[in-house]
Amino acid sequence: MSSVSVKDLSLNFGHISVLKDLNLDIAEGEFLVLLGPSGCGKSTLLNCIAGLLDISDGQIFIKGKNVTWEEPKDRGIGMVFQSYALYPQMTVKGNLTFGLKNAGVAKDEIERRVARTADILQIQPLLERKPSQLSGGQRQRVAIGRALVRDVDVFLFDEPLSNLDAKLRSELRVEIKRLHQKLANTMIYVTHDQIEALTLADRIAVMKGGLIQQLDTPHAIYNHPVNRFVAGFIGSPGMNFLEGQLETGAGAVVKIGNMPVPIDRYVFSGSSQQHTGATVLGIRPEHIAFGDGAGAMPFSHEVDIEIVEPMGSDTLVWTRLDGQSLSFRVEAERPLQAGDRVRIGFDPARASLFDSATGNRI
């Protein structure tokens, strides 16, 4: 039985359709990330699951129970917000216990839960302080704590790390992963940061325009993106896209300009869409071989280096293939300069082909 199940969920604001016929099944203990750019509907979907927004059509199930019309407090969820939303006039302890006291939970049970939560999140020394006396990271831990004390099955996170600086973000990211490993609750996590998605998720739902573009493991999304949008959204530095022409037949190639790229090793997605013609070939910078290794690749070519970007751990090199921009990664030690002529190559099996018109994977 899935932990959270969304069936045919639609949400309209007046004439505007924000979410369209969404279907989602989340297994117990799964960490699902809703990923997408601003305005794609991920936060909206989360709020619908939480019960903070009334949906126009469809159903929501949590642990088998139909909660479509239930109040948030009856759905068995805990929620963590981007702005922490701690009650500013209460101490940390007050924040943790206010909801419990209101629900009539016994005093010793409250104490037990607070102790347990404080222990897990390492916030014991902060219990008597007020939110204004805490740092950003501490506040976020308290916010997570407030959800934890509720003793629920499903945790909802609405971009919890977006307000923190980069260093703190990576620290807390690890902590959340650790927390998930320890508690093994179902967690639904909304973010626009694809690094968070890749590192935390069991599965990612990439959203755009109110629809789920791809629901898959991070590995599958990274290596087999289902359309051009997903391909470009995941991965940093981003995937290279080269416009070309697909020619099927005995020696199927994608002609990029005049260069034929043999794609006999490429695994087609098997979709029935008829198509010949304008194609986009996507290849990630880290999948492009360079120098000696390039020659061994099914496709290789000589290119002139335009720009060299040292990034510390490695270097990003920009060049052009058939006039189209292309970037690839090399070790940081390689002495390369703009103007150098080098040989690069790649294995089309690792590439992704997309229809120019629809953007879907071929």
Residue 23 or 83 with smaller CB distance to other proteins: 83
Q: Tell me the pairing of strands 154-158 and 77-80.
A: parallel
Interface residue with other proteins among 71, 108, 331, 333 (CB under 8 A) is: 71
Q: How far is the CB of 113 from other proteins (least distance, A)?
A: 13
Q: Which part of the chain contacts other proteins (CB under 8 A), choosing from 57-65, 68-76, 295-303, 324-332? A: 68-76
Non-local (6+) Cβ contacts of 347 within 8 A are 265, 287, 297, 298, 299
CA 51, distance to chain mean position in Å, is 23
Distance, CA of 5 to CA of 9 (rounded, Å): 10
Site string for other proteins, 134-173 (x = CB under 8 A): ------------x---x-----------------------
| Residue 51, token pair as written in the block | 């019960």
- CA-derived radius of gyration, the chain: 24
Dihedral through CA 68, CA 154, CA 81, CA 15, nearest 10? -20
Quick check: 81 binds other proteins (CB under 8 A)? Answer: yes
Smallest Cα–Cα separation from 45: which of 160, 198, 206? 206
d(CA 281, CA 311): 26
Angle in degrees, CA 347, 348, 352, rounded to 5? 130
Site for other proteins contains 87 (CB under 8 A): yes
Taking CB under 8 A as the rule, which mask of x and - marks residues 12-51 in contact with other proteins?
-----------------------------------x--x-
101-140 burial by CB neighbour count: b if 16+ within 10 A, else e?
Answer: eeeebeeeebeebbeebbebbebeebbeebbeebeebbbb
Q: Name residue, tokens 């996507």.
A: 282
Contact mark string toward other proteins, 103..132, x via CB under 8 A: x--------------------------x-x
- Compare residues 100 and 172 and give the one whose CB is closer to other proteins: 100
In whole angstroms, how close is the CB of 261 to other proteins at the nearest point?
50
Only segment of 95-103, 194-202, 212-220, 288-296 that touches other proteins (CB under 8 A): 95-103
Q: Which is nearer to other proteins, 103 or 332 (CB)?
A: 103
Mark the segment that binds other proteins (CB under 8 A) among 4-12, 70-78, 189-197, 216-224.
70-78
CA distance 172 to 135: 13
Select the span of 86-94, 172-180, 247-255, 293-301 touching other proteins (CB under 8 A): 86-94
Min CB(73)–other proteins separation in Å: 3
Residue among 219, 212, 249 nearest 234 (CA): 219
Binding residues for other proteins, rule CB under 8 A, total 28
Contact indicator for 294, 300 with CB cutoff of 8 Å? yes
CB of 121 to other proteins, least distance (A): 17
Q: Is 133 in the site for other proteins (CB under 8 A)?
A: yes
- Cβ proximity to other proteins: between 89 and 325 the closer is 89
Q: 311 and 243 in contact (C-beta within 8 Å)?
A: no
Sheet with 259-262, side-by-side order of all strands: 259-262, 253-256, 240-247, 277-283, 352-355
| CA separation for the pair 164, 168 (Å, rounded) | 6
Distance of closest approach, residue 99 Cβ to other proteins, in angstroms: 3
Interaction mask 179-218, other proteins, x per CB under 8 A: ----------------------------------------
The CA distance from 325 to 323, in Å, is 7
Question: Using the rule CB under 8 A, is 102 a contact of other proteins?
Answer: yes
When binding is defined by CB under 8 A, the residue of 79, 221, 288, 362 that contacts other proteins is 79
Binding-site member from 5, 82, 240, 352 for other proteins (CB under 8 A): 82
Residues of the shown chain interacting with other proteins in the complex, contacts defined by CB under 8 A = 47, 50, 52, 71-74, 77-79, 81-89, 98-99, 102-103, 130, 132-133, 146, 150
